[in-house]
Amino acid sequence: MRQGKVIGLGKIILFSGHMTDGPNRPEPRFPAWLEPQVRTAIRSALQDWQVGPGDTGICGAARGGDIIFAEQCLALGARVSLFLPLPVATFLEASVRLPDELDSDWEARFFGLLDDCPAEGPEADDGAHPFAANNARMLAEARKAAGGDEPYALIVWDGRDPDGKGGTAEIAEATEGWRHRVIIDPAAL
């Protein structure tokens, strides 16, 4: 895992998005079969904003939206800075790994991103919910890196209330009113 802070160059794109549904999710939110459509929608938004070399994406590294966004930014030549709310081993279990019988490649893709992108691990435990604290860190870093400009926000979100603290709904609320903001609802694809 490469370490490093985001350097404020070009456009700064903050991303937050749902994970692909796990096998025990009671109500579908981002079924795995929608990955190609979500990937296309993310790439389209990035291309509409003319994201490329000199631009920086800021995101987590969970399976689903985060990994897809980071891969698409890299494919367009943009930098990506990853923010992890938990130590790698714990994060893998909480937000990346799926049961073996689902034959997913999310874990390999996650480690590929850690090899290619600077990653900020969790800050010292101050008692805050780790995912909510990570959202706050990403928002602060996006604003700081953008300097006087407003960051861009790209969000894969179903528009529903969150499952818990630190979810995509928090980023959606925090970026409401941003001039450059796109929300992709997987169910609408």
DSSP secondary structure letters along 57-70? EEE---TTHHHHHH
pLDDT of residue 1: 61
The pLDDT assigned to 58 comes to 98
Residue 55 has a pLDDT of: 96
Domain range annotation of the chain? 12-137+148-157+175-188
Task: State the pTM of this model.
Answer: 0.93
Q: Which two tokens stand for residue 15?
A: 């991303």
Dump the DSSP string for 20-55.
PPPTT-SS-SS-GGGHHHHHHHHHHHHHHTT--TT-
pLDDT at 41: 98
How confident is the model at residue 132, as a pLDDT?
93
Per-residue pLDDT, 123:
75
pLDDT of residue 75: 98
Distance between CA atoms of residues 51 and 48, nearest Å: 8
Instruction: With a cut of 70, list the residues of the chain below it in pLDDT.
Output: 1-9, 124-127
Question: 12-137+148-157+175-188: what CATH class?
Answer: alpha beta
